[in-house]
Structure 1
Amino acid sequence: MSLFDLEKHFAFYGAYHSNPINIFIHMLFVWPIFYSSLMLFYYVPMLFFPNFASFFTIVYAVFYVGMDKKAGSLAALLCFLCWVGASACATHLGYSLTWKVVLAAQLLCWTAQFVGHGVFEKRAPALLDNLVQAFLMAPFFVFLEALQHFFGYEPYPGFHAKVKAMVDAEIKEWQEKKQKKLS
């Protein structure tokens, strides 16, 4: 899979997120995971960056712009706003309180997502099959889902129909493999 192949990344991630309730859960909790991670990463120093949070933000922003110029630029802006807010929040709270807030937020958000997968999706999360891809794609996936749902946005005409066909094919393949294991 090409690093910036939006269709394939979106189809991979979408195959693990086809249930509307699970998608809604992810829309609520993915960005808080990103934000709270930045709060903690604010305290991790780096050689050529102010801290790991700034490096992390840049990596995500570049990845999203490389995937789709329009939506990726908006997602990159959101990443930078999260970085600014998380840095200010972490500075205000101090390390001893920040890590507690981050721990609580991460536990809540991850629990909700695992419940979404176990109860509604009835499929293990994408991160069990491709950890890096799942972590990089998750915020952009829910961002694109929101843009499509609320504004009808598509990176190009027919994108969602093409990706839906790819998602349906991946889900069918997964169900067939699952059925073979059971029989």
Structure 2
Amino acid sequence: MGKIGLLDLERHFAFYGSYHSNPVNVFIHMMFVWPIFFSALVLFYFTPALFDCPFKCRLGLVPNFGLIFTLLYALFYVSLDKKAGSLAAFLCLICWVSASLLAKNLGFSLAWKVALAVQLFCWTGQFIGHGVFEKRAPALLDNLVQALIMAPFFVLLEALQSFFGYEPYTGFHASVKAKIAAEIKNWQDKREKKGQ
């Protein structure tokens, strides 16, 4: 709870949550964020190996940029919250392994086509979610790095809270809800002033 800056989960969640308050938009993100992460890993499979590894030949797992990308996400999520972060880290690793196996079996040309189709479909769905339901531009237009890094963890936390009542610590969701409401009000006030 005393964390600030980069590891301030409340601040991150409130920022992202203020752009995702409409239930339909939240549902769209729950459906599309992890496929975006997965398909990005399919694309990263074709980056060069960083070092030679014995399991590369047998399983097709290449220690490349995709693995670094996965480990950075996983470590960041664990540092934000040990329980949900560990689950997110596990999901990231599962995505890396399965994306690698899929990319290896599909081959370069087909894997790229499939991954790009998934990216296009999922990003389009999310932009529709923001434009039609949220009626607010996506968070990535205000903070690209935070939005891209937090998106998978945000939707996981949202699902854990919705289905299991999980919160990283007592009072987390009440505090975040208040911060989200304040951020949305601030955004609406700015929008009204611009419209005058």
TM bucket normalised to smaller: over 0.9
How far 1:46 moved relative to its partner? 5.2
Q: Which amino acid aligns with 2:66?
A: A
Alignment partner for residue 93 of structure 2, among 43, 64, 80? 80
* Cα shift at 1:47: 3.5
Describe the SS at the equivalent of 1:153: coil
1:118 is matched with 131
Out of 83, 88, 96, the residue aligned to residue 70 of structure 1 is 83
What is the distance in 1 between the residues matched to 2:14 and 2:72?
A: 21
Q: Which has the larger radius of gyration?
A: 2
Unaligned 5+ runs, structure 2: 52-61
TM-score (norm 1): 0.98
In structure 2, the residue corresponding to 1:45 is in which secondary structure?
coil
Superposed counterparts of 1:6-155, under 5 Å: 6-45=9-48, 47=50, 50-155=63-168
Aligned residue pairs, count:
183
Could you tell me the percent identity over the aligned residues?
A: 71
CA distance in 2, matches of 1:105, 1:47: 27
- 2:56 paired residue number: none
Q: Which deviations, in whole Å up to 9, do the C-alpha atoms of 1:62-85 show, x marking residues without a partner?
A: 110010000000000000000000
User: Residue 27 of structure 1: CA displacement?
Assistant: 0.2
Task: Pick from 138, 145, 159 the counterpart of residue 172 of structure 2.
Answer: 159
* Distance across 2 between alignment mates of 1:86 and 1:112: 21
User: How far is the alpha carbon of 1:51 from its aligned partner?
Assistant: 1.1
| Counterpart-to-counterpart distance in 2, 1:50 and 1:81 | 14
2:166 corresponds to which letter in structure 1? Y
The letter for the 2-side match of 1:131 is L
Q: CA deviation at 1:121?
A: 0.2
CA distance in 2, matches of 1:162, 1:112: 30
Which amino acid counterpart does residue 57 of structure 1 have in structure 2? T
Question: Are 1:173 and 2:186 an aligned pair?
Answer: yes
Taking the aligned partners of 1:24 and 1:144, their CA distance within structure 2 comes to 13
In the superposition, the TM-score normalised over structure 2's length comes to: 0.91
